[in-house]
Structure 1
Amino acid sequence: MNFFLSGLVEIPAYIACPFIIQRFGRRSPVCIFHVVGGLACIATAFIPPVTDNGADLTSLILTTALVGKFGITASYAIVFLYTTELYPTVIR
């Protein structure tokens, strides 16, 4: 189920990217998505699966991981487009 959700979160990331880069350009969104994705992935490692009082936090871990996956997928989609525009035709 986690693998399915991880793949499913890529669909809205790829759909949202054209609208976001059309409105805000390429540089700011790629930086924001890199930071959000990286912080969410790092935060996932520091969330304990069970708290001291016995509360289960696996849904919080999954949500944080999926936010990280969304950020990294969106940043990759923008970087893929952005780098082709930066390099001249001779290098490409």
Structure 2
Amino acid sequence: MCINSVGNGDIDTPFEVSQFLRQVYDGFSFIGNTGPYEVSKKLYTLKQSLAKVENACYALKVRGSEIPKHMLADVFSVKTEMIDQEEGIS
């Protein structure tokens, strides 16, 4: 959703998604490892997703003035593929 919105020219959505995911992550982190195993596993996945969105927002903020808007989606998709390969996700 974050990367697709940048590709469509919507630059505000990634920051809104990042803020929402941060609030959800902060809320669930209070539970910690006291809940069932599935909760801690989902929390780990949420943390990874939040990192990807925050990286995209960082790149958008830093590179937004350097790269034309129509090329920003390509920058994010390449970066996301590299992160997925590092994590072993295909």
TM-score (normalizing by structure 1) = 0.51
Q: Which amino acid aligns with 2:40?
A: T
1:34 corresponds to which residue?
15
Identity of aligned residues (%): 10
The 8 Å contact of residues 44 and 65 in structure 1, kept in 2 or not, is answered as yes
Quick check: 2:14–2:57 contact (8 Å CA) kept in 1?
Answer: yes
- How far is 1:83 from its partner? 3.1
CA contact (8 A) 2:5 2:13 kept: no
Larger-gyration structure (1/2): 1
Q: Secondary structure, in 3 states, of the residue corresponding to 1:45? A: helix
Q: How many residues align?
A: 62
Q: What is the CA-CA distance between 1:81 and the residue it aligns to?
A: 2.1
Q: Deviation at 1:84?
A: 4.1
Q: How far apart are residue 73 of structure 1 and its match?
A: 0.6
* Aligned-partner Cα distance in 2 for 1:78–1:35: 13
Partner of 1:78: 60
Report if the CA contact (8 A) 1:37-1:71 is conserved.
yes
Q: Which runs of 5+ in 2 are unaligned?
A: 68-90
Whole-Å Cα distance in 2 between the matches of residues 77 and 58 of structure 1? 29
Counterpart Cα distance in 1 of 2:12 and 2:5: 13
Alignment correspondent of 1:67: 49
Secondary structure at the counterpart of residue 83 of structure 1: coil
Aligned to 1:45: 26
Provide TM-score, normalisation by structure 2. 0.52
Separation (CA, whole Å) in 1 of partners of 2:27 and 2:5: 30
